[in-house]
Amino acid sequence: MRIVPAVDIRGGLCVNLVQGDYDRETVFSDDPVSQAIQWRDLGGEIIHIVDLDGAKAGHCCVEKQLQAIAHAGVPFEVGGGIRDIDTVRQIISYGASRVIFGTAAHRNPDFVRVAAQEFPGKIVAGIDAKDGNVALSGWYEATQTDAVSFAQEMERMGAARIIFTDIGSDGMMSGPNLESTQAVARAVGIPVTASGGISSLDDIHNLVAIEPDGVDEAIVGRALYLNAFTLPEAIAVATGSRERT
């Protein structure tokens, strides 16, 4: 399993939100570019960049940071505010390995198909779920769309991967929602990245247990910033190179 460190950017700062609430924000660094480089240097194979301002504004707000991260040779994926194909082209031109569609994928599934045809293997569907249903626009908008059914639709549209986030777990340091993550992974034939709630090495062990279902990555944010464990420790557990303690 691959551990993917998260760098959430808001107002030019590296931050973390609790359950997507912009009023429950912690600032961890004033230099998200340096933070991304640090995670790469500690073993991160790809960095998960979230444009929190873009998620609300509906357009990319982190162009300068993405260019600087790419210039430093750091592999990254990015989501937040991606609403049109020109933005996808722009972000990929910066060197993004993957582009994550959230709200736009729900409102216009055909957008995923068009982008996936132009950039095969690079388009990811980010599915944020609350009580089993998809939530949109930085989690401010609830829907009645079942997350599992939507994951299947995204696969049909050509998404190369699903990033599944359980909103109830995100930022709470209480462990990921294994049942929901597993349900999504079992319903699709593309790989799934688990996101939200990872707070301990035991949580990573538990995710490794559902890796055979198709969960091959785990995004970790707050736990790393709070020093619950180090990135090398997480990678060692995820890759099975260290016995459980």
In angstroms, what CA-CA distances link 30 with 43, 180, 209, 226? 22, 34, 36, 16
Indicate the DSSP class of residue 229: S
Q: Residue 17 is inside which H or E element, if any?
A: strand 13-18
73 Ramachandran zone, left/alpha/beta (phi>0; psi -120 to 50):
left
The three-point CA angle 245-28-78 to 5° equals 90
Distances, alpha carbon 220 to alpha carbons 30, 198, 213, in Å: 19, 6, 20
Tally of CB atoms within 10 A around 119: 19
Residue 162: left if φ>0, alpha if ψ -120 to 50, beta else—which one? Answer: beta
CA-CA-CA-CA dihedral for 164, 26, 137, 141, to nearest 10? 90
Question: In 10 A of CB 23, how many CB atoms?
Answer: 6
Q: Which residues are catalytic?
A: 8, 128
